[in-house]
């Protein structure tokens, strides 16, 4: 892509790269929208989908009723306690009065007061029995409260058990849903990656290369950036295994490409000078010369040394002499820079 040396061509190529990136960014936006909308094809599960509904609603109903009972019992207990303490206060006050009266009577020893003694004792007994009855009410309310509390605790325990079972089922379902969503995304992005690989192998040099490269970038982005967060983790196994597989594939491709390049280079260096010159593109040769390497074998050559006419590594002719004016000139130049005569054997390209 960097072989273009003409100024306008360079700018055109730069513009086309911009087109490639813009094309890729729009494709990425479109792909991202599609991928984002994918979870909507799946139901959004909650605990309620897996809980044993009849049992759960029964337990919830029990909890509600017992809560109500407990609150009522609590209120009634407070009332009963108040009544009991009033009754006790009455009883204590009456006993004090009675004791005082009794002390007075013993001092005076009046027999006509005996009926009053009986009446007062009777009154005291009544107060005592009222106090005992109030205490019985308090105890009854305490019993009701305790029953309600225990029933509520039991129902809550049942509900917790039901919820725990449901949570396990929900976790299993969510895991398999996660895997399904990942597989949807994979079936969308993997073919894109395949197409991108085919385009890279076959079409990257075609006239329509900006679109080809735009699509390749889009596919790479969709696969490695947008798919990666949805990779199920399974404790990191999937991530690392996928990483290893991809690294092996990329590494294998690079090694094969390197060997193929070396093989091609070896074959090219074995060809006669004229044919090698034809194989080389004009712009490729100029670009390599500008980098101070031999256009034939890409090894460094001192081009400023006028004594060097041939590459010391591969033997390709670097400088020759014009057929018309005999000026020393680059063997890759199409015309003599001194007299403008066409080179004898022009380089291909
Ligand atoms: Zn060379
Ligand atoms: Zn010349």
Measured in Å, residue 7 CA sits from the centre of ligand 2 at 26
Assigned token pair, 90: 């009455």
Q: Which residues contact 256 (CB under 8 A, 6 or more apart)?
A: none
* 175 alpha carbon – ligand 1 mean position (Å): 60
- Report the C-alpha gap between 270 and 277 in whole angstroms: 12
**How far from the centroid of its chain's Cα atoms is residue 246's Cα?**
20
CA 56 / ligand 2 centre spacing (Å):
101
Cα 12 to ligand 2 centroid, rounded to whole Å: 33
Contact between 286 and 9 under an 8 Å Cβ cutoff? The reply is no
Residue 339: nearest ligand to its CA? 2
- pLDDT single digits (tens) 173-229: 988 888 888 888 888 888 888 899 899 888 888 888 899 999 999 988 888 787 777
DSSP 258-321: HHHHHHHHHHHHHS-HHHHHHHS-HHHHHHHHHTTB-TTT--B--TT-TT--B-TTT--B-EEE
Evaluate whether 317 touches 309 at the Cβ level (below 8 Å).
yes
pLDDT tens across 25-64, in order? 999 888 888 777 766 777 778 888 888 889 889 999 999 9
Task: Report whether 170 contacts 50 (CB < 8 A).
Answer: yes
C-beta of residue 215 within 8 angstroms of C-beta of residue 24:
yes
Q: Ligand 1 centroid vs 348 CA: distance in angstroms?
A: 17
What is the per-residue pLDDT for 233? Answer: 66
Spacing, Cα 339 to ligand 2 middle (Å): 4
pLDDT greater than 60 at residue 1: no
Q: Using alpha carbons, select from 315, 321, 316 the residue that is nearest to residue 278.
A: 316
Give residue-wise pLDDT tens across range 272-315: 877 888 778 888 888 899 999 999 888 999 999 989 999 999 88
pTM confidence score: 0.53
pLDDT: which is higher, 233 or 88:
88
Q: Phi/psi at 203 (nearest 5 deg)?
A: -120, 5
Among all bound ligands, the one having the nearest atom to the CA of 285 is 1
- Residue 342 CA, ligand 2 centroid: distance in Å: 8
> Measured in angstroms, how far is the CA atom of residue 6 from the centroid of ligand 1?
25
How far is the centre of ligand 1, averaged over its atoms, from the C-alpha of 311 (Å)? 4
Q: Which is it for the CA torsion 26, 27, 28, 32, positive or negative?
A: positive
Whole-number Å distance, alpha carbon 259 to ligand 2 midpoint, is 41
The bound ligand whose nearest atom lies closest to the alpha carbon of 273 is 1
Structure tokens at 118: 């009986």
Ligand nearest, relative to CA of residue 318: 1
Q: Are 9 and 197 in contact (CB under 8 A)?
A: no
CA distance readout (Å), 212 to 27, 188, 207, 209, 249? 12, 19, 9, 5, 21
> What are the residue ranges spanned by the domains of the chain?
1-221, 233-270, 276-330
Distance 343 CA to ligand 2 centre (A): 8
* Model confidence at 106: pLDDT above 90: no
Neighbouring residues of the ion ligand 2, judged by CB less than 5 Å: 322, 324-325, 327, 336, 338-339, 341
Does 346 score more than 70 pLDDT? no
Query: Ligand 1 centroid to 257 CA: how many Å?
Result: 21
Q: Cβ(201)–Cβ(11) under 8 Å? A: no
Separation of CA 319 and ligand 2 centre (Å): 13
The rounded Å distance from CA 198 to ligand 1 centre is 33
């Amino acid at each position: 892509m960097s072989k273009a040396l003409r100024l306008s061509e360079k700018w055109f190529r730069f513009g086309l790269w911009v087109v490639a990136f813009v094309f890729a960014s729009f494709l990425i936006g479109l792909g991202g929208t599609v991928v984002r909308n994918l979870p909507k094809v799946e139901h959004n599960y909650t605990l309620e989908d897996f809980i044993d509904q009849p049992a759960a609603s029964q337990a919830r109903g029990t909890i509600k009723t017992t809560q109500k009972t407990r609150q009522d019992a609590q209120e009634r207990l407070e009332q009963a306690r108040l009544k009991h303490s009033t009754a006790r206060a009455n009883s204590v006050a009456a006993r004090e009065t009675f004791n005082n009266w009794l002390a007075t009577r013993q001092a005076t020893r009046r027999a006509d007061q005996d009926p009053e003694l009986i009446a007062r004792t009777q009154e005291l007994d009544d107060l005592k029995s009222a106090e005992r009855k109030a205490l019985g009410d308090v105890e009854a309310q305490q019993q009701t409260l305790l029953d309600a509390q225990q029933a509520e605790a039991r129902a809550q325990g049942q509900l917790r058990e039901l919820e725990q079972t449901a949570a396990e089922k929900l976790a299993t379902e969510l895991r398999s849903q996660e895997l399904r969503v990942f597989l949807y995304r994979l079936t969308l992005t993997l073919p894109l990656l395949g197409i991108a690989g085919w385009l890279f192998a076959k079409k990257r040099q075609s006239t329509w290369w900006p679109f080809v490269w735009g699509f390749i970038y889009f596919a790479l982005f969709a696969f490695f950036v947008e798919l990666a967060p949805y990779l199920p983790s399974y404790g990191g196994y999937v991530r690392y295994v996928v990483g290893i597989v991809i690294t092996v594939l990329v590494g294998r491709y690079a090694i094969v490409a390197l060997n193929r390049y070396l093989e091609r280079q070896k074959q090219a260096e074995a060809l006669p000078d004229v044919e090698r010159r034809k194989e080389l593109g004009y712009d490729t040769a100029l670009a390599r010369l500008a980098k101070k390497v031999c256009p034939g074998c890409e090894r460094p050559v001192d081009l400023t040394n006028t004594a060097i006419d041939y590459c010391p590594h591969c033997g390709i002719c670097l400088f020759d002499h014009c057929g018309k004016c005999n000026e020393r000139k680059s063997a890759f130049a199409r015309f003599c820079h001194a007299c403008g005569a066409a080179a004898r054997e022009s380089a291909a390209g």
